[in-house]
Amino acid sequence: MSKVGIVREFWEFLKVRKKFWLMPIVFILLALGLLIVSTSGTALAPFIYALF
């Protein structure tokens, strides 16, 4: 299954089950994950990991 298929299936789940309140949670989790991955090799990494 491709990544686009997973996103499409998740969107269909949200539409059918009326779970639109999950979108901000998923967005925040993805943003935090991206922040951790993007700063893992920089001098900023110790400060980011201290937040968690």
What is the spatial distance between Cα 28 and Cα 49, in angstroms, rounded to a whole number?
A: 16
Task: Give pLDDT, residue 1.
Answer: 61
What is the spatial distance between Cα 6 and Cα 18, in angstroms, rounded to a whole number?
A: 18
Full pLDDT tens readout for the chain, 52 residues = 677 888 899 889 988 999 889 989 999 999 988 888 887 777 777 777 777 6
* Domain residue limits, the chain: 3-51
- Token pair listed for 24: 């901000």
Please report the DSSP string for 11-39 in residue order.
HHHHHHHT-TTHHHHHHHHHHHHHHHHHT
State the CB neighbour count (10 A cutoff) for residue 35.
13
Task: Give pLDDT, residue 29.
Answer: 93
